[in-house]
């Protein structure tokens, strides 16, 4: 240790608090004050953003697609692209005073007792955007609003009913490197698509009664500034020379140097330098191997697409004392590894979120804390808690989260049983003033109430097509004020027509006027 530090501590009495006070009195406040201001600024943003998020209202949409769907992966990518339409840039007041944050979507594949359901959770004002995007590609799909299934399990661990194992998947490399997309799962000659989600659904359908498997992908639209940072990684792989970053001081010094350079150019004119890549850049590109050129091409494809800030979570729940991580977690991890490419990017388990990470110093306490923290982040669909988010393109997200094709034979995946058809456009309406429909009143049969029958090996559905414990949201029976204002009011009935009374027979014996002719 330098002698002046030892002398300084000795003169301060050796007390650490007194040493800190002496440092502040001798100019140390100049160092600590900016750090304090930065901490207060960050704390203010976190506080106002949490208040803004808690004021928002969300809906959970359960989605079923037809069994025999003919759509390809481009349709799913179009749905994800439509969700990027909520991206906006808040002004300074919204960002620093109100705490406005980007709207996010949670794409979820859930298996409860082996019954698999697709969910999309979003803000209530974005529900029509999600429905419109899905119906545009899957006109025969069924979408209903349901109650949140996460309320059926506790958040704190340990508890008396459930145990869990979970993690967050992160990328092994930077976000500029893509994972394997759906283009890599299509045969180049036959065009047959080997659906990677089939292995995930098959593993999720084989869990035991009472067990849950949840997969969640939280996506937040990201702007175009990310491409500027990712371009440096592309240039590095392509072998282009790195350009030194310029700070404010360099830009200030550039002004007088530019003036001197312009004067010298007028005094000593020279020919303009040829434009285009230098000889060094050409040699570096030609030195790339075939595999490196493919990597550069895939990275450039990702930079050309819309991107989202992404979190990928996995939770396995079961009755307390009956959790079997190797039986359930192993097949899920194997299915997720389908998206890995050693030369591109791959998924790995986040070391800060996996619930089997602590191995020393209060292991059980730290383990339960991680479980509670991960469950809280999943229930709130948080994009800030846990591991750092990363960037994924629309094609990458569509590869992980897409509806099963007709080739997927997982037995308990919720799908629509039949196609829907709309009534003819010229069908007359009952309340139309131009058409009168005669309806014979028919007595409605009394509802038949049947007792639930116990089924061994599986729980009963709360509604056909939904997993056990998931209930649809009941709509209010009273119409809203807007519905009442625009409700159809039938026109008043026309006044009864005058009925002519029959005339008495004349003395000549004339026939009555309404006598039918022969």
Mean pLDDT of the 459-467 span: 54
19 vs 401: which has the higher pLDDT: 401
Please list the alpha-helical segments (H only) found in 337-465: 363-379, 394-400
Residue 502 has pLDDT above 60, yes or no: no
Mean pLDDT of the 346-375 span: 87
pTM for the full model? 0.73
Q: In angstroms, rounded to a whole number, what is the distance separating the alpha carbons of residues 323 and 207?
A: 11
The SS3 assignment for 162 reads: strand
Q: Look up residue 366 and give its two tokens.
A: 């730290």
Q: Compute φ and ψ for 515, nearest 5 degrees.
A: -75, 125
Report the pLDDT value the prediction gives residue 145, as an integer from 0 to 100.
92
CA 344 to chain centroid, in Å, comes to 23
Residue 278 has pLDDT above 70, yes or no: no
Q: In angstroms, rounded to a whole number, what is the distance separating the alpha carbons of residues 156 and 358?
A: 18
394-412 burial by CB neighbour count: b if 16+ within 10 A, else e?
A: bbbbbbbbbbbbeebebeb
CA 351 to chain centroid, in Å, comes to 23
Residue 504 has pLDDT above 70, yes or no: no
User: How many CA atoms lie less than 13 Å away from 374 in the CB half-sphere?
Assistant: 33
Residue 429 has pLDDT above 60, yes or no: no
Q: Best-predicted range by mean pLDDT among 58-62, 196-200, 280-284, 501-505?
A: 58-62
Report the pLDDT value the prediction gives residue 169, as an integer from 0 to 100.
95
Report the pLDDT value the prediction gives residue 450, as an integer from 0 to 100.
42
Residue-by-residue DSSP string for 62-99: EEE-BSS----HHHHHHHHHHHGGG-----HHIIIII-
Q: In angstroms, rounded to a whole number, what is the distance separating the alpha carbons of residues 165 and 150?
A: 15
Residue-by-residue DSSP string for 290-350: HHHHHHHHHHHHHHTS-EEEEEEEEEEEEETT---HHHHHHHHHHHHGGG--TTS--EEE-
Length of the chain: 518
Q: In angstroms, rounded to a whole number, what is the distance separating the alpha carbons of residues 101 and 389?
A: 15
By percentage, how much of the chain surpasses pLDDT 90? 30
362 φ/ψ sector (left φ>0, alpha ψ -120 to 50, else beta): left
Q: Using alpha carbons, select from 120, 107, 134, 86 the residue that is nearest to residue 219.
A: 107
Residues 6+ apart with CB under 8 A from 512: 502, 503, 505
241, exposed or middle or buried, with CB in 10 Å at 0-12, 13-18, 19+? exposed
Q: In angstroms, rounded to a whole number, what is the distance separating the alpha carbons of residues 197 and 328?
A: 16
Helix, strand, coil in percent for the chain, rounding step 5: 40, 15, 45
Question: Could you tell me the pLDDT band of residue 439, with boundaries at 50, 70 and 90?
Answer: very low
20 vs 48: which has the higher pLDDT: 48
Report the pLDDT value the prediction gives residue 230, as an integer from 0 to 100.
85
Question: Could you tell me the pLDDT band of residue 16, with boundaries at 50, 70 and 90?
Answer: low
Question: Could you tell me the pLDDT band of residue 66, with boundaries at 50, 70 and 90?
Answer: confident
Mean pLDDT of the 309-335 span: 92
Q: Using alpha carbons, select from 367, 412, 6 the residue that is nearest to residue 165.
A: 367
Lowest mean pLDDT of 119-133, 223-237, 323-337, 502-516, name the range: 502-516
Please list the alpha-helical segments (H only) found in 173-247: 197-204, 225-238
Query: Cβ–Cβ contacts within 10 Å for residue 84, how many?
Result: 17
Question: Could you tell me the pLDDT band of residue 338, with boundaries at 50, 70 and 90?
Answer: very high
Mean pLDDT of the 246-257 span: 67
Judge contact between 353 and 386, C-beta under 8 A. Answer: yes
Report the pLDDT value the prediction gives residue 126, as an integer from 0 to 100.
93
40, exposed or middle or buried, with CB in 10 Å at 0-12, 13-18, 19+? exposed
pLDDT in tens, 364-409: 888 999 999 999 999 999 988 889 999 999 999 999 998 887 766 6
Lowest mean pLDDT of 40-54, 295-309, 323-337, name the range: 40-54
Report the pLDDT value the prediction gives residue 287, as an integer from 0 to 100.
75
Query: Cβ–Cβ contacts within 10 Å for residue 383, how many?
Result: 20
Report the pLDDT value the prediction gives residue 357, as an integer from 0 to 100.
72
149 φ/ψ sector (left φ>0, alpha ψ -120 to 50, else beta): alpha
Lowest mean pLDDT of 6-20, 109-123, 162-176, name the range: 6-20
Residue 108 has pLDDT above 90, yes or no: yes
pLDDT in tens, 173-182: 998 999 999 8
């Amino acid at each position: 240790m330098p002698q002046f530090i030892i002398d300084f501590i000795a003169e301060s009495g050796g007390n650490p608090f007194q040493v800190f006070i002496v440092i502040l009195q001798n100019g140390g406040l100049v160092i600590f004050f900016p750090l304090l201001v930065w901490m207060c600024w960050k704390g203010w943003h976190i506080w106002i953003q949490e208040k803004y998020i808690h004021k928002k209202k969300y809906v959970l949409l359960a989605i079923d697609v037809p069994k025999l769907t003919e759509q390809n992966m481009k349709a799913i990518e179009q749905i994800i692209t439509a969700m990027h339409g909520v991206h906006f840039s808040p002004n300074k007041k919204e960002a620093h005073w109100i705490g406005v944050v980007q709207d996010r979507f949670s794409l979820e594949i859930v298996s409860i007792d082996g019954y698999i359901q697709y969910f999309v959770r979003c803000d209530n004002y974005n529900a029509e955007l999600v429905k419109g995007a899905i119906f545009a590609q899957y006109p025969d799909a069924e979408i209903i609003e349901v109650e949140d299934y996460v309320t059926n399990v506790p958040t704190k661990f340990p508890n008396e009913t459930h145990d869990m194992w979970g993690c967050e998947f992160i990328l092994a490399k930077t976000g500029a490197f893509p994972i394997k997309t759906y283009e890599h799962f299509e045969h180049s000659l036959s065009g047959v698509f080997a659906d990677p989600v089939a292995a995930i659904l098959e593993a999720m359908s084989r869990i035991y009664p009472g067990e849950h498997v949840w997969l969640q992908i939280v996506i937040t639209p990201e702007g175009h500034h990310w491409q500027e940072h990712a371009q440096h990684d592309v240039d590095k792989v392509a072998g282009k020379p790195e350009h030194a970053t310029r700070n404010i001081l360099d830009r200030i010094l550039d002004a007088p140097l530019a003036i001197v350079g312009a004067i010298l150019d007028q005094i000593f004119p020279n020919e303009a330098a040829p434009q285009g890549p230098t000889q060094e850049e050409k040699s570096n590109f030609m030195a790339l191997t075939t595999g490196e050129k493919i990597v550069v091409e895939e990275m450039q494809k990702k930079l050309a697409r819309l991107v989202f800030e992404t979190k990928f979570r996995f939770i396995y729940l079961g009755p307390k004392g009956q959790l079997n991580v190797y039986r359930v977690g192993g097949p899920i991890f194997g299915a997720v590894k389908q998206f890995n490419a050693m030369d591109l990017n791959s998924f790995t388990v986040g070391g800060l979120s996996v619930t089997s990470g602590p191995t020393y110093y209060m292991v059980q306490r730290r383990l339960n804390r991680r479980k509670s923290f991960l469950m809280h982040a999943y229930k709130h669909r948080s994009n800030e808690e846990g591991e750092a988010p990363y960037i994924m393109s629309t094609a990458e997200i569509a590869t992980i989260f897409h509806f099963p094709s007709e080739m997927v034979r997982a037995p308990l995946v919720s799908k629509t049983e039949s196609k829907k058809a709309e009534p003819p456009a010229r069908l007359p309406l009952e309340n139309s003033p131009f058409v009168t429909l005669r309806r014979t009143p028919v007595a409605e049969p009394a509802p038949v109430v049947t007792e639930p029958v116990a089924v061994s090996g599986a729980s009963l559905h709360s509604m056909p097509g939904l997993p056990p414990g998931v209930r649809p949201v009941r709509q209010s029976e009273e119409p809203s004020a807007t519905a009442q204002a625009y409700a159809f009011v039938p026109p008043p009935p026309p006044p009864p027509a005058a009925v002519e009374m029959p005339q008495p027979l004349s003395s000549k014996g004339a026939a009555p006027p309404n006598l039918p002719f022969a």
